[in-house]
Structure 1
Amino acid sequence: MTLNGRHILVTGAARGLGAEIARVLAANGARLILADIAEEAGQATARELGARFLPVDLGDPQSITDLAGAVADATGGALHGLVNNGAIATGIGGIPFDEIEIDSWDLVQRVNVRGTWLMTRAAAPMLKASGSGRVVNVASDTALWGAQNLLSYVASKGAVISMTRSLARELGPDRVGITAVAPGILTTESTEYVPEHRHRFYQDGRAVPGPQDTGDVSEVVSFLLSDSALTLTGQVLPVNNGFVFT
């Protein structure tokens, strides 16, 4: 699916799933801007792909505003795609709901929920100006089946799914489409500390058994950023090899 000439911003693009999404988008012709709080790793990924890197802290509203201003300058004010991949997964290794620290809960919601909202809000004028804007939110299938011992993360990704549906109605009149992908556990740096039994639980429970690679998700994201995907606006795709059906 060609993305030739389309300006696309990917947050959380320094490593892991975000970096792999960026690689697929670059291969499909996108003109990329990568953003992450991890500047050194983000700059390395940007150099690899011939992309531009801009720092952002999704927990800081001013940082998001600054990023949007820099993106507007770089694109002439027209952005064709936004991938809201940036997030934190505090507690994803597993912790009971009644042991979550309040500060930890607040941090996860601030970055994953408020950060996604503010990033979309900041990018919306540029997405509208392009005439064919697309937003893809990276959620999680944990919010679709109610994974235990991950409450702060599950709650944040459930909020991202709900925001996707509501924003589809608000952005639709301007022909901006917004969708969400909900992967299961992937094989990335961010899941190395997840207990082995949780990986096995996923691998054994999938309709197509085994581990899931970041490339599977990235190709779907690439399609959702294309002109052809507008009719899917508001939808949540559980890209997880059949662990959850909706």
Structure 2
Amino acid sequence: VNVRGTWLMSRACHAALAASGRGAIVNLASDTALWGAPRLMAYVASKGAVISLTRALAREYGADGITVNAIAPGLVLVEATEYVPESRHRLYIEQRALQREQLPADVSGVALFALSDLARFVTGQLLPVNGGFVFN
């Protein structure tokens, strides 16, 4: 789903974005692809593929005025991460430059930037959003 869904959605949106003469795609990767989280091999590999796909799409879609970037959140405090052991949450907090839980708003702000006119000349980039857990 991570790679195929990203590719299919980008392909489905391409014609409309190209026709508008301006478009922006923001893909969702993960910082686990940057540090190789243990026991998550398939997930880490799929998010690494999303990063590579983002770069390839940026090259391909750039001629149509479409920017393509990816954000790589860390461990975000949401319902979907409730299964993650407390020890992993503590590890993230203790190893971040900004030592606190990561909230959904931390990610959405960067997504809004990447979709905005402020980022019109930013494409093919990975934007880690993890409070400095992993630097890029």
Report the TM range for the smaller structure's normalisation.
over 0.9
Q: Which residue of the partner structure matches residue 222 of structure 1?
A: 112
Q: Deviations over 1:21-69 (max 9, x none)?
A: xxxxxxxxxxxxxxxxxxxxxxxxxxxxxxxxxxxxxxxxxxxxxxxxx
CA distance in 1, matches of 2:21, 2:114: 16
Partner in structure 1 of residue 124 of structure 2: 234
In 2: Cα distance, 1:228 partner to 1:208 partner: 25
Cα deviation, residue 143, structure 1: 0.1
Cα distance between partner residues in 1 of 2:4 and 2:110: 25
SS of corresponding position for 1:178: strand
**Contact persistence 1:132–1:227 (CA under 8 A):** no
C-alpha deviation, 1:230, in angstroms: 2.2
Match status 1:168 vs 2:91: no
**For 2:81 and 2:29, how far apart are their aligned partners in 1?**
15
Equivalent-residue separation in structure 1 for 2:28 and 2:14 (angstroms): 17
Note the alpha carbon deviations across 1:182-237, whole angstroms, 9 max, x for none. Answer: 00000001001111111111111000111111101101100111122121100001
CA distance in 1, matches of 2:32, 2:48: 8
Quote the residue 2:11 is aligned against.
121
Correspondence for 1:155 among 37, 41, 45? 45
Aligned to 1:137: 27
1:211 and 2:70 correspond: no
**Distance (whole Å) between structure 2 residues aligned to residue 230 and residue 143 of structure 1:** 26
Q: Does 1:245 align with 2:135?
A: yes
SS at match of 2:25: strand
Gaps of 5+ in 1: 1-110
Which amino acid is 1:124 matched to?
Answer: H
Per the alignment, residue 10 of structure 1 pairs with none
Q: Is the partner of 1:182 in helix, strand or coil?
A: strand
Unmatched tracts of structure 2, length 5 or more:
none
- Mapped to 2, the partners of 1:221 and 1:195 lie a distance apart of 27
TM-score by length of 2: 0.97
- Alignment length (residue pairs): 136
Instruction: Report runs of 4+ in structure 1 exceeding 2 Å deviation.
Output: none
TM-score in terms of structure 1 length: 0.54
CA shift for structure 1 position 132? 1.2
How do residues 1-246 of structure 1 correspond to structure 2 at under 5 angstroms?
Answer: 111-246=1-136
| Partner Cα distance (1:232, 1:242) in 2 | 21
Report the Cα distance in structure 1 between the residues aligned to 2:128 and 2:135, rounded to whole angstroms.
Answer: 7
**In angstroms, what is the RMSD of aligned CA positions?**
0.7
